[in-house]
Amino acid sequence: MRISLQHKLLSSFIIVVALVLVIVSTGVSLLIRDYFFASKQRELTDKAYETARVVNSYYNGEINYGQLANFINSIDSLLSARVWVVDNSFNLIAASEEQQAPSGGIRRRAGMMKKSPMDQDCDITKGQGRMRRHGAGMGHGMMSAATPDGSSDKAAEPQTGQSPSLAAISGIDEVRQQLEAASGTAWTKKVYHPYYEENMLLVAVPLNQTENQPQGTVLINAPLSGFDGFLSRIYWYIAAAGTVGILITIVIANYLSTSIIRPLRSMQAVASAMAGGDYSVQAKVETNDEVGDLSRSLNLLVKALNEFVSKTEKTDKLRRDFVANVSHELRTPLTIMCGYNEALLDGTISQPEQVEKYHKVMRDESIRLQKLINELLDLSHLEAGTATLEKEPVFLAEIVDNIVTLFKKPSQEKGVTLQTALADGLPEMQAYGDRLTQLVLILLDNALKFTPAGGTITLSVGAVNNILTLSIADTGCGIPPEDLPYIWERFYKVDKSRTRITGGTGLGLAIAREIINLHGAAVDVASEVGKGTVFTIQFNI
């Protein structure tokens, strides 16, 4: 089954956020639980020590029984926990009691519905209490001693009697063993309380010691049900917040995944178009991130492929044209020579004047064929970089002046004026002398071919800022703008009919271009039909 990338991203975002929420929620809940449990434990311990001091004050005769009873019951109300005072024999000496609420109803604290162990109806075996007040008789359980106006009740003073023995409670042995093992030290423990039948936090603090033995222990029994309820509410709040967070995450993740997938789909469309041979399409760049960079890279690839395909098609066309041109240029002189030779051999031409003319034509075509082959080889060496060349110091102005001297007679015969403009004190340059001479010859020969009688050809050489400039300007027929980009190609001729009036092989400017590149020079061609052409070449000195 195919699952889209958007759904994968969306699912991944949701799973990651859900896992983070679960981990964070678990950690936070445990932290809150530990914090509140520790706070509750400290509070119970502090109140247990405070209760122990009050109980000690009572047995030292500093407060009366009513004040003690009120204090223990107030601790019960404050902490929502039962307060027990036991002696060393695990007999219950005192315990907090339920009180009537102001409305007259019974208020049950600490979530415990069972009666206090001190209640007369409670079925617990009575034992002998062992804590004495200034040598008085055994004390029994404390009952509520507060009157409605808050004054102490003298009738509630403990008398010698029986105290409930907690040992009779089934399952209480664990608490008793912990008391005996603590040996007069305070301790805290979470236990399942066998009397109240629920989980409780039990805090024990010893009373004053007599002959290195504690007189008893204050036990505070705090139920964990309220604490668990508080944590449950926190868990619900965390769950609700997590649900809202996941919903928000879904919205944000859907937006993000869509913003990621949309440019990918655009790139997919571009790739499909490229596979079909369409290189004109472009991917839409929507962001400035890695996806945007990928879109831009794909667009550059499309552009490069489009240029490559265009160049390949153009190169293929040039190759076909080259083969056709070479075939034509080779076939023409060979055809002429074969035809003339047959005419001479079969006696068709017998007059001396005609025979001489035919021989001259055959010689000219042989020379032309040899020149074509030499130029093809020369161009091949230049393009392949296999020509054996060595730079030498040369004076460009001197080369130009010498070549102009060679062309004086041909130009005069055609009626074209040759003139030079050579600056004084021109520096020498490191160049390939023979190739530089060949370059000037090609350009000047072309200018002379296409400049009619009465025209002018001007060759100038100058230097500015370590740049040596060669310029060859003519007043010939000019080159149409649409032909200018192609004049450097092999066998390209502005004369589409390939007339043989001007002669030449069609390789001159292609060779000239390679020589210019060989010297690392820059060339510019400006031409206007009917007015002439200017070739400007700049060399770095």
Residue-wise pLDDT tens digits, 419-446? 999 998 899 999 988 889 989 999 999 9
Give the per-residue pLDDT at 497. 52
- Tokens 């002959």 correspond to what residue? 211
| Structure-block tokens of residue 149 | 């106006």
| Least trusted range by pLDDT, from 188-192, 348-352, 449-453 | 348-352
Give the per-residue pLDDT at 149. 42
Give the per-residue pLDDT at 504. 61
Architecture of domain 389-540: 2-Layer Sandwich (3.30)
Residue closest to 309 by CA, chosen among 280, 284, 282: 280
What's the pLDDT tens digit per position in 495-508? Answer: 655 444 555 667 88
Give the per-residue pLDDT at 119. 62
The yes-or-no verdict on residue 175 having pLDDT over 80 is yes
Give the per-residue pLDDT at 215. 78
Among 128-137, 273-282, 319-328, the range with the most confident prediction by mean pLDDT is: 273-282
Q: Are 86 and 216 in contact (CB under 8 A)?
A: yes
For residue 477, the tally of other CB atoms under 10 A from its CB is 19
| Average of per-residue pLDDT across 181-201 | 86
The yes-or-no verdict on residue 131 having pLDDT over 90 is no
Angle at alpha carbon of residue 263, lines to 258 and 269, rounded to 5°? 120
Residue 534: band (very low, low, confident or very high) from pLDDT cuts 50, 70, 90: very high
Residue 269: band (very low, low, confident or very high) from pLDDT cuts 50, 70, 90: confident
The yes-or-no verdict on residue 323 having pLDDT over 80 is no
| Structure-block tokens of residue 119 | 């209640």
Contacts of 56-60 spanning 24+ positions with Cβ under 8 A: 56/207, 56/208, 58/133, 59/131, 59/132, 59/133, 59/134, 59/207, 59/208, 59/215
For residue 367, the tally of other CB atoms under 10 A from its CB is 11
Which residues lie below 8 Å from residue 434, measured CB to CB, with a gap of 6+?
A: none
Secondary structure class of 337 (helix, strand, coil): helix
Give the per-residue pLDDT at 212. 60
The yes-or-no verdict on residue 243 having pLDDT over 90 is no
| Average of per-residue pLDDT across 32-41 | 87
Give the per-residue pLDDT at 151. 43
The yes-or-no verdict on residue 111 having pLDDT over 50 is no
CA distance 208 to 193: 26
Give the per-residue pLDDT at 505. 66
| Average of per-residue pLDDT across 511-536 | 92
Give the per-residue pLDDT at 101. 46
The yes-or-no verdict on residue 152 having pLDDT over 60 is no
Give the per-residue pLDDT at 396. 93
| Average of per-residue pLDDT across 496-524 | 77
The yes-or-no verdict on residue 451 having pLDDT over 60 is yes
Give the per-residue pLDDT at 408. 92
What's the pLDDT tens digit per position in 112-125? Answer: 556 667 665 555 55
| Least trusted range by pLDDT, from 25-29, 99-103, 106-110, 491-495 | 106-110
Identity of the residue numbered 324: A
Q: Give φ, ψ of 151 to 5 degrees.
A: -80, 160
The yes-or-no verdict on residue 368 having pLDDT over 80 is no
| Least trusted range by pLDDT, from 53-67, 277-291, 511-525 | 277-291
Residue 146: band (very low, low, confident or very high) from pLDDT cuts 50, 70, 90: very low
Q: Which residue has better confidence, 137 or 454?
A: 454
Give the per-residue pLDDT at 453. 93
Residue 338: band (very low, low, confident or very high) from pLDDT cuts 50, 70, 90: confident
Quote helix, strand, coil % in the chain, to nearest 5. 50, 20, 30
Q: Which residue has better confidence, 97 or 358?
A: 358
Mean pLDDT of the chain: 79
What's the pLDDT tens digit per position in 94-108? Answer: 888 755 544 444 444
Q: Which residue has better confidence, 426 or 154?
A: 426
Residue 386: band (very low, low, confident or very high) from pLDDT cuts 50, 70, 90: low
The yes-or-no verdict on residue 308 having pLDDT over 50 is yes
| Least trusted range by pLDDT, from 131-145, 177-191, 364-378, 492-506 | 131-145
The yes-or-no verdict on residue 81 having pLDDT over 50 is yes
Domain chopping of the chain, boundaries:
11-232, 279-388, 389-540
End-to-end CA distance of the chain: 70
Residue 60: band (very low, low, confident or very high) from pLDDT cuts 50, 70, 90: confident
What's the pLDDT tens digit per position in 396-406? Answer: 999 999 999 98
| Average of per-residue pLDDT across 44-61 | 89
Domain 11-232 has CATH 3.40.50.300: no
Give the CATH number of domain 279-388; options: 3.40.50.150, 3.40.50.1100, 3.60.15.10, 1.10.287.130: 1.10.287.130
